[in-house]
Amino acid sequence: MVTQLLAIALAMWSLQSLAADSRDSLPGLLEAIKQARHSDGFEVRFAITAVDAQKLRTVPVKIAVIGQANADRQRFLVRGISPDAVRNQHFVAENSAAGPIDAFEYGPDSEGHRISLDPFARLFNTDFVMWDLFAVWWDWPHQIADGNGEVNGRSCLRVKSRPAVPMPVKEVVSCIDRETALALSTQVYDAQHRLRRTIRVEKLMRKGSSEGLMAKKLSILGEHGATSEIDVYGGDEQYRISPETFGVLDRFLGKAN
């Protein structure tokens, strides 16, 4: 009887420990990161201000990003809001379970064309790169924990991600906050292992649903001393994806197929 009770207690303790330790192990943390990205639908609006090497600031570009992501598929729609030059420019892209990313560009009249989602292609003359939204590096086979780091006073775990086959991006180094499973910084290296951009979370805010934190301000340090400052000013964590939201994408894919 006593032995049985002890065994049950031990099993319960082990289960509890496993749950608590899951983010302490790298696979556990990676799984938590992927889970945190899942959403039935969200919209984020942010203002991006590009600052060149001479510290000259551009007029802020406002864009809306609508997304939907689960274990099988991710898709994102980027829409320019202002100024006039970017208004109603759309970029839409989708990938299925670590497959290639299909991307398209179209204007207000929904007419457009396929584009290649270049990991170094800047949108709207800022350092914002659409490829980053997919965070494909979390599905790469080579993931190495590389010690602890710190971003703006928050400690994080450095993780190096490398693809299975040579590609334009040789490595992505992230610093992950264990508590929130958020990447506080992300560094993208090209095939020659040159650092092409660093994305840092400068300020966090609580989600409206109070289920954790999200980025409120980010900075992207690009090449040649240029940076982009991103300020998240609005959005909807429970955006209703309607048939029209990704209708153009579906149409393009239907055409492509």
- Which x/- pattern, by CB under 8 A, does the window 73-112 give for another protein? -------xxxx---xx------------------------
The H or E element containing residue 90 is strand 90-96
78/62 Cα distance (integer angstroms): 11
Using CB under 8 A, which residues numbered 232 to 251 contact another protein? 233-234, 236-240
Provide, rounded to whole angstroms, the least separation between the CB of residue 168 and another protein.
Answer: 33
Q: Is the N-terminal amide bond of 83 cis, ω within 30° of 0?
A: yes
255 binds another protein (CB under 8 A): no
Strand-pairing partners, residue 57, are: 51
Task: CB nearer to another protein: give 4 or 209.
Answer: 209
Tokens found for residue 106:
């179209």
| Residue closest to 136 by CA, chosen among 180, 168, 114 | 168
Task: CB nearer to another protein: give 59 or 97.
Answer: 59
127/7 Cα distance (integer angstroms): 56
Question: Considering only residues 3, 4, 209, 257, which one is a binding residue for another protein as defined by CB under 8 A?
Answer: 209
Using CB under 8 A, which residues numbered 144 to 183 contact another protein? none
Task: CB nearer to another protein: give 32 or 64.
Answer: 64
CB-CB contact of 63 with 46 (8 Å): yes
Select the span of 56-64, 96-104, 159-167, 186-194 touching another protein (CB under 8 A): 56-64
CB-CB contact of 175 with 56 (8 Å): no
Binding site for another protein (CB under 8 A): 43, 45, 47, 59-60, 62, 64, 80-83, 87-88, 205-211, 233-234, 236-240
